[in-house]
Homo-oligomer: A and B are copies of this chain.
């Protein structure tokens, strides 16, 4: 395959529609836009390198995307909050994870099949996906700038992957030898993760292709789909039934469709999202796997949280391409369930360890919280798609909440250890080691890496009427509006530690368009100025639309409300009765025992309460945890009675307390020092 565009056109002509008649014809011609984009390229790349003109997703031709992603390469994040994390990601996390993957035999699984390794198969059934997710992280990292060593390492690994692809397109290192006969049996599809692995291969291949133009892995993925999957599986009488098992293939096929134009990939994704009734599933499987029945029959989030989130991503992608109203209805129903019943204050989702699953409505335990890093990432990815469909800031709020908190917590500050679980209270005495360099199911570490690597792609979107600013950090964007007008935006800020963001907006020539500025829901009092003049209408949880004729040198100041907020949970969250949490800007805070005034020990959150009528002060400490704002709030610490007893009568030994100032750090930075108790939800004294 030398030219995916050619392939796209060829295959589009031969495609047999699997879609319901009502939605099969909704894709309008979009050819005109691509030529405009090519001609107006302002990123300095050659005008015909199509593979660069894409972002986290390629929504440039998605008919139901109100917003379009912009290339990752178009946004350069400058020194500030995320630059440090992203440097750590590329300099420490990605390389150390590479070594871990090799040390745990994940590449040996490929080499053995070529006679280059004697090592036996290692790792769980989905181990190939570890390599693919890592390659995707590299692909995204390379989209922000070349890194010859990383690229060379990845290219070598890609060659080893492609080398084990079989005649007929099949590619998986687990279902070989004695297990060959199990391939794609219904029960293997349910639990064997073959399509999950290929989904990650496709996502990696697309990211790597968009970074480098290298089609090796993309070609392997297309061969799997074209030669193995499409001919063998689907609704046809001669085709076998198909089920995702662990959703992932759905969104990957749609991104492959966006990359190649081959509509059969979209159609197959739609077929998988619909479910194949020829594979009978138990109610438990239907709940746990979040696939196998029509996506549009779902009414709530349930089952395995990562599966559910990835299914929602695939369904949202399907909506962006087809506009199917049933999908949109279901996606919104599930989103309401998410925001009303299922999301942790950190943006994490999936409360239960058992089955790594969503709990019941309001089942949000703290110490027992699962909150898998991958699920928070899936949540962000889903909301990114919902945001693209609507431009509705509520989705941006979820992205920000998850990104700064429940995702960011997943990687240690030094980038070498990772959380699989992200609990909201912790006692190191429990014996859990919360940050580890390796998990045998190592889904989370490379998932965190690909998220940080792709982050510049989440800052902006374009729409027919202008440009959306979603995230704030020191950065420079160079891109163009839909009409081709080149546009540069420079952000200068100390966000998320301070609320003021300066946006220098410089179109290549004066142009009228709308600058959509996201006002986070947590920001109650907002001031926005353009060239020193106040702009009215900024509302929490909305994009402020600033329509005007913009010219080079225009300066927008957005001043968000960084007043620390004391939050309560809906009383239905039983564990949080009598407790409050602190948030300032997008950052959710927590107490770690070692920061309190008691003598340091692992167990030192003893007896602390906050007085909610008190004041919260905030101060930046450059020396703490690589620089964080620390909150201080008045409260008290209950004292043990002189007897030192373990239990005593509240009547005869009424509680006595001494004043104490509680110190809080950002949740994402917890567990980066010696082990210590931690809590997000803190008991409060009711006045």
Contacts and interface: CB of A to CB of B under 8 A. Distances in A.
A459 interface: no
B368 A568 contact: no
A568 B647 contact: yes
A432 B352 CA distance: 10
A390 interface: no
A677 B574 contact: yes
Which of A524, A608, A646 has its CB near the most chain B CB atoms (within 10 A)? A646
Interface stretch (A57-65, A131-139, A271-279, A649-657): A649-657
A345 interface: yes
A637 B577 CA distance: 9
A427 B648 CA distance: 27
A603 B645 contact: no
A437 interface: no
Contacts of A679: 574
B637 A431 contact: no
A607 B427 contact: no
Question: Which range holds the interface residue count of chain A?
Answer: 35 or more
Interface string A28-54: 000000000000000000000000000
Contacts of A644: 340, 570
If over half of A's interface residues share one DSSP class (helix, strand or loop), that class is named, otherwise mixed; here it is loop
Interface string A627-669: 0000000000111100011111111110100000000000000
Contacts of A652: 524
A609 interface: yes
A571 interface: yes
A185 interface: no
Contacts of A362: 603, 606, 646
A533 interface: no
Given A431-B354, A608-B577, A572 B647 contact: no
B574 A430 contact: no
Interface string A421-435: 000000101111000
B607 A567 contact: no
A360 interface: yes
Nearest to A651: B566
A360 B429 contact: yes
A255 interface: no
A114 to B, nearest CB: 38
B571 A637 contact: yes
B354 A430 contact: yes
Nearest to A677: B574
A355 B685 CA distance: 36
A357 B429 CA distance: 11
B368 A603 contact: no
A645 to B, nearest CB: 7
Interface string A662-687: 00000000000000010100011110
Interface in A150-181: none
B340 A646 contact: yes
B429 A571 contact: no
A75 interface: no
A365 B427 contact: yes
B368 A430 contact: yes
A567 B581 CA distance: 26
A605 interface: yes
A639 B568 contact: no
Contact of A572 (B339, B354, B606, B651): B606
A313 to B, nearest CB: 22
The 6 closest A-B pairs by CB, nearest first: A571-B607, A354-B431, A578-B683, A571-B638, A572-B606, A566-B650
Interface of A: 339-341, 343, 345, 352-355, 357, 359-363, 365, 367-368, 427, 429-432, 524, 565-575, 577-581, 602-603, 605-609, 612, 637-640, 644-653, 655, 677, 679, 683-686
Given A354-B432, A355-B431, A361-B603, 14 more contacts: A341-B646, A353-B430, A357-B431, A359-B429, A362-B606, A524-B652, A567-B647, A570-B646, A571-B640, A572-B603, A574-B606, A577-B609, A578-B578, A578-B579
11 contacts: A566-B649, A566-B650, A567-B648, A567-B649, A569-B646, A570-B640, A571-B606, A574-B606, A577-B608, A580-B650, A650-B684
